[in-house]
Amino acid sequence: MVRLADSEVRTREVLGWKGLHLFHHPISSCSQKVRIFLNIKGVKWESHIVDLAATANMDEWYLGINPRGLVPALVHDGEVHIESNDVLLHLERAFPQPCLLPDDQFGAIGKLLHHEDELHLDLRSLSLRFVFNPASNPKTPEVLDRYARSGSGLLNGARDLGKEEQMRFWRNYAREGVTDETVRLSVARFRAEFDELERRLAMQFFLMGDSLTVLDIAWFIYVNRLTVAGYPVARLHPRLHGWFSSLQARPEFAAEVALPPGLAQHVERTRALHAADATTLVDIAGLGPH
Ligand SMILES: N[C@@H](CCC(=O)N[C@@H](CS)C(=O)NCC(=O)O)C(=O)O
């Protein structure tokens, strides 16, 4: 579990905060995951939006809460928890009802969540190219330098490799954007995972059996983002699509993934431009019907 030692929280004021405070962003997939979880648990929390487009996550103040500069981050009665899956594990302990992580599935779900987290940079690459498609890169060299210099760079007393991974990702993105080769690799990784989920759903209604668990919430978010990016989930993984649609019909899920109208239009425009020169996700990854 990634809980910061109090001495590592440089934005000291949050140590005195009572209750649940979530630092998040409406469109961030990991934030959506935690918000759906909180909706299902029915607990009250206070919202602190971190403006990712304005790179507020790379400011000294926020790095004093999450030294990796990522959302979400949770402050619970003055304790700082980062990494969305660890936040969920903490919340499950604090609010056990309704149960989303049965004791007898703790190990298996933990492993599968770790697996999901490993695909996060693939999700980000595909989102950048096919969903956000920014006109210019908000992570300018100045912002990245500030990010590198700010914050402790330490987590639980050790040099934080997580921040270094973020630096590598953004420096690479500044150099070459998201290349076709990256698209192909990332899509192939998702396709393999989705095939595995499709197999699971042949035998059961939810990913771990007959009850909804945190694993369904985690993968729902990824399937949602890939669908928005243009991945043909319904055609390639019909059972996964059915599972996704049934979750999407629930208000606790739907409310958190609804695209703001401005972004929905932007995605449509991007899709039309890509379709015109045969550079949609389906075109590049070779997923078209042959
Ligand atoms: N492994 C992390 C990943 C968090 C992450 O990458 N969050 C994204 C939003 S979904 C973020 O904060 N990106 C920072 C940025 O865009 O600069 C977690 O699960 O919390």
Domains of the chain: 1-98+138-176 (3.40.30.10), 109-134+181-285 (1.20.1050.10)
Contact of 240 with 193, CB cutoff 8 Å: no
pLDDT 10s digits, 158-176: 888 999 999 999 999 999 9
Residues sharing a CB contact under 8 Å with residue 137, sequence separation 6 or more, in sequence order: 173, 174
Q: Is residue 117 in contact with ligand 1, taking CB distance under 6 Å?
A: yes
The pair of structure tokens assigned to 82 is 């980062």
Whether the bond between 72 and the residue before it is cis, its omega within 30 degrees of 0, is yes
Q: Is residue 30 in contact with ligand 1, taking CB distance under 6 Å?
A: yes
Ligand 1 atom closest to 138 (CA): 17
Ligand 1 atom closest to 121 (CA): 6
pTM, two decimal places: 0.97
Spell out, as residue ranges, where the chain has pLDDT lower than 70. Answer: 1, 290
Tell me what pLDDT residue 153 has: 83
Question: 52-69 as b/e, with b when 16 or more CB fall inside 10 Å?
Answer: beebbbbbeebbbbbbbb
Identity of the residue numbered 35: R
Alpha-carbon gap, residue 224 to 228, rounded angstroms: 6
Tell me what pLDDT residue 155 has: 87
Alpha-carbon gap, residue 109 to 114, rounded angstroms: 8
Tell me what pLDDT residue 2 has: 83
Tell me what pLDDT residue 266 has: 97
The pair of structure tokens assigned to 56 is 């507020």
From residue 117, give the alpha-carbon distance in Å to each of 56, 121, 123.
Answer: 23, 9, 10
Alpha-carbon gap, residue 171 to 179, rounded angstroms: 14
Pairing of strands 158-159, 20-24: unpaired
Look-up: residue for tokens 């759906």?
A: 36
- 278 CA from centroid of ligand 1 (Å): 30
Alpha-carbon gap, residue 139 to 116, rounded angstroms: 25
Q: Nearest to residue 67, comparing CAs of 85, 54, 48, 82?
A: 82
Tell me what pLDDT residue 290 has: 60
Strand partners, 20: 76
How big is the chain, counted in residues?
A: 290
The pair of structure tokens assigned to 237 is 């993984």
Which residue has a Cα nearest atom 9 of ligand 1?
28
Ligand 1 atom closest to 31 (CA): 10
Q: Is residue 52 in contact with ligand 1, taking CB distance under 6 Å?
A: yes
- 40 CA from centroid of ligand 1 (Å): 22
Ligand 1 atom closest to 71 (CA): 12
